[in-house]
Amino acid sequence: MTQDNTAADATLKQRRNKRLLALGGVVALTAVAATAYWTLYASNYVSTDNAYAAVEVAQITPSIGGIIAEVKVRDTQAVKKGDVLMVIDATDARLAAAQAEAELDQAKRRVRSYVANDSSLAAQITAREADERRAAAQLTGAQADFERAKLDLSRREALLASGSVSGDELSKAKNAYAGTEANFAAVKAAAAQGNANLRSAVAAKEANAALISNTTVETNPEVLAARARLDQAQVDLARTVIRAPLDGVVAKRQVQLGQRVQPGMPLMAIVPVSEMYVDANFKEVQLEKVRVGQPVKLHADIYGKNVTYKGVVEGFSGGSGSAFSTIPAQNATGNWIKVVQRLPVRVRLDPAELLANPLKVGLSMSAEIDTRSNARHATAAVDTPRNTSN
C-alpha cells in the first residue's frame, strides 16, 4: 500500500507540474501577444467617443429695419445659395431711393449753374474794372475843380480888403468852392465804392471757381456725394430681399410675417450640412503623436458601426474646454487637484461621404486617429508641460 500511495503522489505531482507549466506558457504567450499588439498596433492609434459633429452656422440678420412682408422658408427646409428667405416691405426704401435720385439731379444742375456763373462773374469783374477806371477819371476831374475853386476863393478873400472884389463875387466863390468840395467828396466815395465792388466781384469769382476747380459735372464733390447717397439708397432697397448666403438647412427660424425687425436682429440660421466637421475632445496624454493631416476613422451614433467616415486632422484648439468655460477652473489654490484636460481636435470630413450619410450639428461621434502617418509639413499637436511639483 505504501508503494502504491507513493506512485500515485508522484503521478499527481507530475500532472500538477505539467498544468502549471502549460498555464505559465499560456500567460507568457498572452503577454507576448499583448505586447506585440500594443507595440505594433494599439500604440499607434488614439481614440475617443467624446466627439460631436459641428459646423460654422450662418446667422441671418437684416441690414435694414422694416416690416416683414414675406417669409418664404420654414425650419428644416433645404435652401441653395441665393434663394430668397424673406422680404422686407420696400416702400420706405423705394421712396428713399427716389429722393436720393432727385437729389443727385439737383446736384448736377447746381454744378452746371456754378460753371455758368463763372463766365457771368468774369464779365462782372470786367464791368467793375471799367467802373473803377471811370470813377478814377471822375475823381481826377473833381479834384481839379475843387483845387481851382479853392484857389479862386483864396484870391478873392485876399482882394476883399482892398475893395477890388465885391461881396457878391466872394459869395459866388464860396458857393463854387463848397459845390466842388461836395462833388469831390461824392466822386471820391463813388471811386471807393467802385473799388469795393471790384474786390467783391473778384472774391465771388474765386469762391465760385473753388466749387468747380479741377472737376467736371460728374466728378464734382457735390455730385459724388449725392451719387453715394443714391447708391446707398439702392443698396438698402436691394437689402429688403434677404437671400441665403450659402447652401444649407434652415434652423432656428424666429421671424414671423408682419414682424418689425431692426438691423442685426437674429431671424434664422442656415446650417451648411455639406461642410460639417467633427470636434473630437482627446485627453492631453493622448496627443503626443497626433499631427495635422493624419487620417481619422469616425463613426456616428446615428448610423452605428455600419457607416465609417474617413477624416483628416485639420487643427487643434487654442485651449482646453475648461480654459474657455464661463467660470474657468482656478488652479492657483491650496487645495489644487490635477485633472487630465481634454483638447478639441478638429477633423475635416469628406463632402462625398457627408452627401451619402448627412450629419446634423451636435450628433455624437467616435474618432480614432492613426498616428503612424505624419502629414507633410506637419507640426506637433501640443506641447504639454509636465508638472514636476505641486
Write the DSSP string, 233-298. Answer: HHHHHHTTEEE-SSSEEEE-----TT-EE-TT---EEEE-GGG-EEEEEEEGGG-SS-BTT-EEEE
Structure confidence at residue 169 (pLDDT): 66
Query: Residue 265 has which C-alpha cell?
Result: 436682429
Same domain for 87 and 99? no
Assigned domain for 379 exists? no
Structure confidence at residue 237 (pLDDT): 95
Q: Which domain holds residue 72?
A: 58-92+239-269
Same domain for 97 and 86? no
Structure confidence at residue 383 (pLDDT): 41
Provide the residue type at 252 as one letter. Answer: K
How many structural domains are present in the chain?
2
Same domain for 122 and 87? no
Nearest to 317 by CA among 367, 382, 362: 382
Assigned domain for 368 exists? no
Same domain for 69 and 138? no
Same domain for 69 and 82? yes
Cα 130 to Cα 126: distance, rounded to the nearest angstrom: 6
Query: Residue 317 has which C-alpha cell?
Result: 484648439
Same domain for 210 and 119? yes
Domain boundary among 182, 214, 234: 234
Nearest to 298 by CA among 373, 375, 350, 360: 350
Cα 155 to Cα 310: distance, rounded to the nearest angstrom: 127
The four Cα atoms 120, 125, 126, 132 give a dihedral, to 10 degrees, of 150
Structure confidence at residue 270 (pLDDT): 95
Structure confidence at residue 40 (pLDDT): 59
Q: What is the DSSP string of 174-237?
A: HHHHHHHHHHHHHHHHHHHHHHHHHHHHHHHHHHHHHHHTT--TTT-HHHHHHHHHHHHHHHHH
Residue with cell 483638447: 343
Structure confidence at residue 2 (pLDDT): 61
Give 300's DSSP letter: E
Same domain for 207 and 171? yes
Same domain for 159 and 117? yes
Nearest to 298 by CA among 322, 314, 321, 320: 314
Asked if 41 and 372 touch (Cβ cutoff 8 Å), the reply is: no
C-beta neighbour count of 281 within 10 angstroms: 18
Same domain for 103 and 82? no
Assigned domain for 274 exists? no
Same domain for 184 and 108? yes
Structure confidence at residue 265 (pLDDT): 95
- 390 residues of the chain, pLDDT tens digit each: 566 667 777 777 777 777 777 777 778 778 777 776 666 566 788 999 999 999 999 999 999 999 999 999 999 999 999 999 999 999 999 999 999 999 999 999 988 887 777 777 677 777 777 767 777 777 777 777 777 777 766 766 666 656 666 666 667 766 776 777 777 677 777 777 777 777 777 777 777 676 677 788 888 888 999 999 999 999 999 999 999 999 999 999 999 999 999 999 999 999 998 899 999 999 999 898 899 999 999 999 999 998 999 999 999 988 887 777 777 776 767 777 788 889 999 999 999 999 899 999 999 999 999 988 765 444 444 344 434 333
Structure confidence at residue 141 (pLDDT): 75
Nearest to 290 by CA among 348, 372, 350, 349: 372
Assigned domain for 185 exists? yes
Assigned domain for 197 exists? yes
Assigned domain for 374 exists? no
The four Cα atoms 233, 234, 240, 245 give a dihedral, to 10 degrees, of -120
Assigned domain for 173 exists? yes
Same domain for 217 and 110? yes
Assigned domain for 210 exists? yes
Cα 94 to Cα 74: distance, rounded to the nearest angstrom: 27
Structure confidence at residue 3 (pLDDT): 60
Backbone dihedral region of 82: left (phi > 0), alpha (psi from -120 to 50 degrees) or beta? Answer: left
Provide the residue type at 75 as one letter. Answer: D
Residue 145 half-sphere exposure toward CB, CA atoms < 13 A: 18
Same domain for 228 and 136? yes
